[in-house]
Structure 1
């Protein structure tokens, strides 16, 4: 049975129990049962690709927004600020949420910003993000524990993000997890590293990674999974971020929550 269909099914049950059942004890039991089912399904999904799970990855690449940091508020506010400056209608909150993680250029093009105005739109975005937006996020539950365990296991941890590198460093430092990473790799101000695949290649150069079979990227959007395929490495898609579930299902393996990352990588 399709993993995503089952996930949506159990989420529907969770909603029903929270709305219909008035007693907290039963709601808690129902939610616990649903979580257990999801974790079992995730294990089955990954077990089908056992040859991947048996690989002892040395280099763990992490996306930032939507994977390490719950940065939706700051990102959406910065898009609103930029679009107002550009006199462009602000899309729904649902649409703005899909802009968390992908390259800024792609998101601005999606809302109709002309190619010749992309640079200006990005400047407006950073005009709000740098002094305010970057401080409106926090690490996802369990992420610091996951990073700690991976480091204890001797893994080399690398951030690979579409965010400009110097801003990525500031965000990670502000959230007090920068020290877990051996390398922090992001896009450049000039826009030359404007795809996830290019950022991954840049990370390979900095970390002197020769064997691509030793690397895996953890991310929450199709850009992470697509970038992994273009770079010739495996991908681990997380369902707790901002990507579409149908895209995450295309990853080599998956994690329902942050703790499940360890189930796959250790």
Structure 2
């Protein structure tokens, strides 16, 4: 196996490490009820984890200003009860421990805001396994996945054109992970236990169905 000292793995959070959908769903519905907005179908609700919440609200017909108001209602509710309503996906923490012990550099690249990302990671004893926590800003321009990945690349001193970018791998469950990493020429592994669809996963270089298969892919990638 080649030297892993420069091998960097970026992990999405919601839908990849943690099943946070119950809390996201409840907070989303609460937001729409407070705003007097129609509740969409369950099929549509199942697609809300992944993109920034204000984008989701705008996709329902809200203006940017109204979506910003909705985002604050959502964050308030999620902070009260939503963030705790989640579970760790089987085998993922143990996988992180093994990868860290093997010398991989682990970072998150999540569209979840920094405050809640840290709370969730600490809740499941994952926070200290990451060299760097890349996350979105609750109130700032860093919101979409490409911006988060750019933040991680800059923070761990990987730059455009640097051949070390070939030693970066993204793990995620939605098209936003696949497209965001592709923007930088980074391969992506799509995990099927998250919130994506077969159509989304088909655009990733790799697709895996459990943590054991993901571990094999990572070692083959090395």
User: TM-score with structure 1 length normalisation?
Assistant: 0.77
Question: What residue in structure 2 maps to residue 259 of structure 1?
Answer: 212
Question: What residue in structure 1 maps to residue 70 of structure 2?
Answer: 121
**Superposed structure 1 runs of 4+ greater than 4 Å apart:** 54-57
Which structure has the bigger radius of gyration?
1
Question: What residue in structure 2 maps to residue 238 of structure 1?
Answer: 191
* Partner of residue 130 from structure 1, selected from 52, 73, 79: 79
Q: Is the 8 A contact 1:143 1:259 kept in 2?
A: no
Question: What residue in structure 1 maps to residue 13 of structure 2?
Answer: 64
* Partner of residue 202 from structure 2, selected from 249, 254, 260: 249
Report the structure, 1 or 2, having the larger helix content.
1
SS at match of 1:163: strand
The answer as to 2:147 corresponding to 1:198 is: yes
SS at match of 1:91: coil
The answer as to 2:107 corresponding to 1:158 is: yes
User: TM-score with structure 2 length normalisation?
Assistant: 0.91
Query: Where in structure 2 are there 5+ consecutive unaligned residues?
Result: none
Shift of 1:55: 10
Between the two proteins, the alignment pairs up a number of residues equal to 213
Separation of aligned partners in 2, 1:99 and 1:198: 19
Question: What residue in structure 2 maps to residue 177 of structure 1?
Answer: 126
Query: Where in structure 1 are there 5+ consecutive unaligned residues?
Result: 1-53
SS at match of 2:80: coil
SS at match of 2:170: strand
Separation of aligned partners in 2, 1:76 and 1:95: 11
SS at match of 1:184: strand
Shift of 1:93: 2.4
Provide the aligned C-alpha RMSD in A: 1.6
* Partner of residue 169 from structure 2, selected from 216, 221, 227: 216
Separation of aligned partners in 2, 1:178 and 1:246: 31
